[in-house]
Amino acid sequence: MTSPVLQTVALACERDLRLLFENLELRLASGEMLQISGPNGSGKTSLLRLLCGLMQPTAGLVLLNGQPLNEQRFELARNLLWIGHAAGIKDLLTPEENLSWLCALHQPASHEAIWQALTAVGLRGFEDVPCHTLSAGQQRRVALARLYLESPPLWILDEPFTALDKQGVAQLEEHLAAHCERGGMVVLTTHHTLTRMPAGYRDIDLGNWAV
**pLDDT confidence of residue 103:** 85
Q: What is the mean pLDDT of each run of 10 residues along the chain (211 residues)?
A: 80 92 94 95 95 95 93 87 91 96 82 95 95 96 95 94 94 97 96 94 90 68
The CATH number for 6-209, chosen from 3.40.50.10540, 3.20.20.70, 3.40.50.300, 3.40.50.720, is 3.40.50.300
Cβ neighbors of 67 (< 8 A, separation 6 or more) are none
**pLDDT confidence of residue 3:** 61
CA distances (Å), 141 to each of 16, 109, 114, 120, 122, in order? 33, 17, 13, 10, 8
Listed by start position, the domains of the chain span 6-209
Pairing of strands 185-189, 154-158: parallel
**pLDDT confidence of residue 108:** 83
Task: List, in sequence order, every residue forming a beta bridge with 63; answer none if it has no partner.
Answer: 7, 68
Assessment of whether the complete model's pTM goes beyond 0.85: yes
